[in-house]
Amino acid sequence: MSKILSLLLFMIISESSFAQGYRNPIISGYHPDPSVCRVGSDFYLVNSSFQYFPGVPVFHSNDLINWEQIGNVLTRDSQLSLKGASSWLGIYAPTIRYNDGTYYMITTNVGNGGNFLVTATSPNGPWSEPVWLSQQGIDPSLYFEDGKVYMCSNPDDAIWLSEIDAKTGKQLSKSRMLWQGDGGRYPEGPHIYKKDGYYYLLISEGGTEIAHHLTIARSRNIYGPYESDPDNPLLTNCSRKGQNMQIQGTGHGDFVQAKDGSWWLVFLAYRNFGGSYHHLGRETYLAPVEWKKGEWPVVNGGNPIDTLMNATTLTKHKMPHAQPLDFSRGDLGPEYIHIQNPILENYIFKGNKLVLKGHGSLSVNNQPTFVGKRQEQVCGSVEFRVYPKHNAEGGISVYQINDGHYDLFVKDGRVSLRCKLKNIDYIVKSDKIWSEWMNLRISYNDKMYKFEYSDDGTSYKSLGELNCSLLSSEVAGGFTGVVIGMYADGGDVEFAQ
């Protein structure tokens, strides 16, 4: 008996440094296009953010598995204009790098200015104003060597490189083509690394859907010629071994070497639910890399990526959970995002309430009043108390894209459930209500969203259930994943918890 007790005690004590195995994704929900850098024993990771503001979430970790969001890079209108941006536009894949005391984040604002970089002395920010760059193409990345700064991106369906002045953005050399990839469509997401006298060029091909995969090439000279790894693709789940896995679309990656010398890859992928559908967006994943001296890297032993990874990890460090929502704090935390640049006077904290002032429909990409959080868990629920004044509409939206969202709302003495999908826009069910404040609750699992309301927070009535797969990227479209948030249209709406 005492042996069992001491074994249990040992297991509890050693839990924090247990170093075998982890679960993918490492950052769940809509967190695509990860890029990572290490400074000492700290890792920092960024993701693309498309039409949402603030842009480019920043995460911190000490073990590559447990991550905490410490902020966002683009927090000011002067850094990020999302005018007219939809789920297909805005901020595409970013790269984060650290060089000589400065953090750099480089990305593309598609539709509002193109490629730019910002800098900071701390990953917590503040980050600088944008330095605009002239080399076109998406997915820009930076490489630093001998006081020179190089930028690569993918204009003209290939990876091109030029030297830049990172302070002014001036291009210092003409753009030269490095590689067209290994034959897949859309060569993109390039990153350059130097190891054992070779420049390695890691890219994505195949498009960000099921055929998405990683390939690699190398050269003794930064400008090439680059030879393709004979074992390409470096990573794919679109293979005989990977085709039946829940995780698909593995691609868009970035290498990082830990302090102990081990190599790792962060990359994006998605999880299928209920067939070949994903509604949670592209998420961030991790795989171990074996990279012997002078040889090509091998990701996860050449195997496809699974949810349970049986790899030896770095010593695990738990990260604090995000603070629970509390309107009386007067802010919502870095994980709360708006569709396009928010009109700040439409978001008012009043004691323990949040008052939202409507600014048009969620179906129109014109700064609607909306604030929400990425749906990160497969199963869960969200609940708010809502009181729309006069003829205002207010409630909770399960939002994938402007023409793909489910809204549970109160308006004109009725509680209703709307399904907006492409050219369908209809009220699924609507009930008359008698109370000013209504509890609205949305619960979800891998297949369905369930919509309920209550006037006392105790007994709930259902307005029905709607399918997750109709909001998937395959059906609704867009580069993002589901974000669940509070919204108002046509007047003032009070929210409480």
Contacting residues toward ligand 6LW, per CB under 6 A:
32-33, 48, 92-93, 138-139, 188-189, 204, 208, 251-252, 268, 479
Q: Which two tokens stand for residue 150?
A: 């190089």
Minimum CB distance to ligand 6LW smaller for 256 or for 354: 256
The three-state secondary structure class of 114 is strand
DSSP code for 108: E
Closest residue to ligand 6LW, based on beta-carbon distance: 208
| Dihedral angle computed from the Cα positions of residues 297, 229, 236 and 65, in that order, rounded to the nearest 10 degrees | 20
Is residue 465 annotated as part of the catalytic site, yes or no? no
Task: Name the nearest CA neighbour of 472 among 112, 210, 115.
Answer: 210
Minimum CB distance to ligand 6LW smaller for 189 or for 394: 189
Minimum CB distance to ligand 6LW smaller for 159 or for 463: 159
Task: Name the nearest CA neighbour of 380 among 55, 51, 28.
Answer: 28
Whole-number minimum distance, CB 354 to ligand 6LW, in Å? Answer: 31
Task: Name the nearest CA neighbour of 409 among 318, 295, 487, 313.
Answer: 487
Instruction: Count Cβ atoms within 10 A of the Cβ of residue 413 and give its class: 0-12 exposed, 13-18 middle, 19 or more buried.
Output: exposed
Q: How would DSSP label each residue in 39-99? A: ETTEEEEE---BTEESEEEEEEESSSSS-EEEEEEE-STTT---TT--TTSEE---EEEEE
Catalytic one among 182, 188, 254, 492?
188
DSSP H stretches of helix in 422-464:
none
Whole-number minimum distance, CB 227 to ligand 6LW, in Å? Answer: 23
Residues 6+ apart with CB under 8 A from 330: 349
Catalytic one among 33, 63, 139, 492?
33
Whole-number minimum distance, CB 64 to ligand 6LW, in Å? Answer: 20
Whole-number minimum distance, CB 33 to ligand 6LW, in Å? Answer: 5
Minimum CB distance to ligand 6LW smaller for 104 or for 487: 104
Minimum CB distance to ligand 6LW smaller for 209 or for 383: 209
Whole-number minimum distance, CB 249 to ligand 6LW, in Å? Answer: 8
Minimum CB distance to ligand 6LW smaller for 285 or for 479: 479
| Dihedral angle computed from the Cα positions of residues 490, 492, 493 and 494, in that order, rounded to the nearest 10 degrees | 180
Whole-number minimum distance, CB 334 to ligand 6LW, in Å? Answer: 21
Is residue 345 annotated as part of the catalytic site, yes or no? no
∠ CA(345), CA(347), CA(351), 5° rounding? 115
Minimum CB distance to ligand 6LW smaller for 182 or for 489: 182
Whole-number minimum distance, CB 58 to ligand 6LW, in Å? Answer: 17
Alpha-carbon distance of 216 to 208, in angstroms, equals 17
Q: What do you get for the CA distance between the two ends of the chain, in Å? A: 47
Alpha-carbon distance of 431 to 138, in angstroms, equals 48
The residues that are catalytic are 33, 188
